[in-house]
Chains A and B, each alone.
Chain A
Amino acid sequence: MATLLYSASLNDCIARWREDGLMVFGPSTAGGVSGFREVEDAGSLDLDLVLTRSTLKELFFPRTEPMLGYRIGKQQIETEEFIPPEGRRIIFGVRPCDAAGMQVDDALFDWDYHDAYWFRRRDSSVIFSIACTHSDAFCMCTSLGLAPDSTKGSDVLLRPLAAGNGWKVEALTERGENALSSISSLLKEGGDAPAPLTDVPVKFDLEACRRWLADPENFESRFWKEISERCIGCGSCTYLCPTCHCFDIQDEGDTYQGVRRKNWDSCSFSLFTMHTSGHNPRATQSARWRQRIMHKFNYFSLKFNVNSCTGCGRCTRECPVDMGVTETLQAISTLQR
């Protein structure tokens, strides 16, 4: 026997959570583009998508957010600190790779500085992931040591039932248990069979890639130019990546008043490393692509003992010139042999 949530009860669950003062978010499509948005009922959820176009990270690390306001008067300077709203949230229908991305970034945002903006939202959110029964040609969680039913970063894991009428429910954290207790009357006990998980083939040998990347000899390899010659530096791969986390601090306003904001930034942009002198240590697009790969699979892995990639495949799926992490790591795997 296991705890089950039938799809038919989902609407009532959402209503219950909302009555309790929680906001409910989930995958939904607006203007033809899928992402995580607040929903009022189950009908607005798009749970059949393999993956949303934009990622879960936007709910924790918005593309722009105010941090500080300032106003300079004749006598005094006033400042105002913007703290993200405290509202508690349920995020329903996350894919395991996106949830795992949260855990990757937890390490970063708690490294030399505890990022209150990130953790305030983390602490007030409960992530309900749904194991994958479908995947597409770009999915590659298994190449990164994850799986269609990984539990990393999730508070509750839902396993779709074979009959397609609901999910088997597994609480993974205390936050998850609490969120489930408020809907306990809507959960059932039963022995319904779970649906088989999707089969995601392993696309490269990650350890071999990491060894190649860690070898200083390869830093200046011609490989980098060849593999990234067509990159146009558009940054889509970073902005749509669940783990890419670079940001820029910008002051907007004039001498007397304004707002300091935290905005997304990307290592694909030439401006990212441009010095005031005009010198750019990453002068070419291939140097920038090398940085993206090195950061994810070498530097980040060494520092935090986890790769900064969960295999969602978006960088390939969305690249206008059909590049991506997959091709590069596949090519490195072959170099190894």
Chain B
Amino acid sequence: MSIQEHYRSRAKELLSSGTVKMVIGYGTGSTPDRRRPVFITSPDETDRLVLDKACRTNLSGYLLREGLLSDQKQVAVFFNLDGVRSLNILAAESQLETAQVLVLGFRIEGEEVTALQGERAADFKSLIAAAKEQRKSQPPHELQEKLEAMTPKERFSFWEAEFSRCIKCYACRQACPMCWCRRCVVDNNQPQWVNTSSHTLGNLEWNLLRAFHLAGRCVECGNCSRACPADIPLHLLNRRMSDEVQGSFDHYPGMDEAQEPVLASFRKDDPETFIL
């Protein structure tokens, strides 16, 4: 049985038995190569579910939709390992209880899509630990190497040029499961911390602020880069911040739901005497 068939029948079982009230997965899109999030609530509709290598979107953000989890019922969601990590972070940050989420796990490697063993966030612990080790030895992105070799001034003008295209749509934020603040700091106007205008300063403020806020929380799922209509290589920023956090604190975000957020916790043996 193909992985798609396997999960279609599992989704049917889960819905017919009443174990879950909804399955959040992928369906066909408006062109053959596009996939779109679908919300299945009836066992008769599970044929709409699609699982193949085009299913890239991290769906965990939908779990925070107003009221979805407030009835304590369970929801099943299609997740790759990054998705499971984002689920763990949302739980660690008290945004949901993993007990309410059933994971339909998959992994995409080239053309190959395989099922991940387990259905609860905690079942993926060893896979995530392996991913952490693998990330350490991951060769840097080509452009990343180029950036590292630049002088700070050159690097600054690289980012200035990239951010100049930003149109301040905040699609990156809306697409990011970790951007769960009900009211983002840029939406505050008393006081107005960040310029809302899409000029050089405003764009720089926004993108750097978001990168900092995501440090140690980003799971590198790629939702933000894919959503950015200006094709700004946001993944490079995220990757750099993740490298920093992993190098300095051996922190790989989303290991489990008990993991302390790296920038929001303090230890007595911290080499810094003050919060930076």
Contacts and interface: CB of A to CB of B under 8 A. Distances in A.
Contact of B196 (A54, A248, A266, A327): A248
B170 A234 contact: yes
B197 A326 contact: no
Contacts of A316: 30
Interface stretch (A87-95, A178-186, A317-325): A317-325
B39 interface: yes
7 contacts: A33-B231, A63-B168, A236-B171, A250-B197, A269-B170, A320-B175, A322-B35
Given A261-B197, A322-B36, 16 more contacts: A31-B161, A31-B231, A32-B231, A137-B30, A138-B31, A230-B36, A230-B62, A235-B169, A235-B170, A236-B229, A239-B167, A252-B195, A264-B167, A284-B66, A322-B30, A322-B34
Interface in B224-276: 226-227, 229-231
Contacts of B35: 322
Interface string A190-205: 0000000000000000
Nearest to A233: B174
Interface in B29-45: 29-31, 34-39
B198 interface: yes
Interface in B173-218: 174-175, 187, 192, 195-199, 202
Q: A-side binding surface: helix, strand, loop or mixed?
A: loop
A271 interface: yes
Contact of A235 (B57, B171, B195): B171
Contacts of A138: 30-31
B146 to A, nearest CB: 15
A252 B198 CA distance: 12
A32 to B, nearest CB: 5
A33 B170 contact: no
Contacts of A233: 174
A54 B231 CA distance: 12
Q: In the complex, which range does the number of interface residues on chain A fall in?
A: 35 or more
Contacts of B61: 232
Nearest to A324: B30
A33 B162 CA distance: 11
A236 B187 contact: no
A240 interface: yes
Nearest to B227: A320
Nearest to B36: A322
B37 A230 contact: yes
Contact of B198 (A234, A263, A321): A263
A79 to B, nearest CB: 19
Contacts of A252: 192, 195, 197
B125 interface: no
Interface string B143-176: 0000000000000000001100101111100110
Contacts of B36: 230, 321-323
A64 B171 CA distance: 17
Contacts of A120: none
A321 B195 contact: no
Contacts of A48: none
A12 interface: no
A229 interface: yes
Contacts of A324: 30
Interface centre among A54, A232, A252, A326 (most CB of B within 10 A): A232
Contact of B229 (A137, A240, A264): A240
Contacts of B230: 33
Contacts of A323: 36
Interface in A242-299: 248, 250, 252, 261, 263-264, 266, 269, 271, 284
Contacts of B37: 230, 321
Given A63-B198, A236-B171, A261-B197, A230 B39 contact: yes
A53 interface: yes
Contact of A64 (B31, B57, B198): B198
A225 to B, nearest CB: 10
Nearest to B34: A322
A263 B196 contact: yes
A30 B35 CA distance: 28
Contacts of A229: 39
B222 to A, nearest CB: 11
Interface in A17-35: 30-33
Contacts of A30: 165
8 closest cross-chain pairs (CB), A and B:
A234-B171, A322-B36, A320-B227, A234-B174, A64-B197, A322-B29, A230-B37, A235-B169
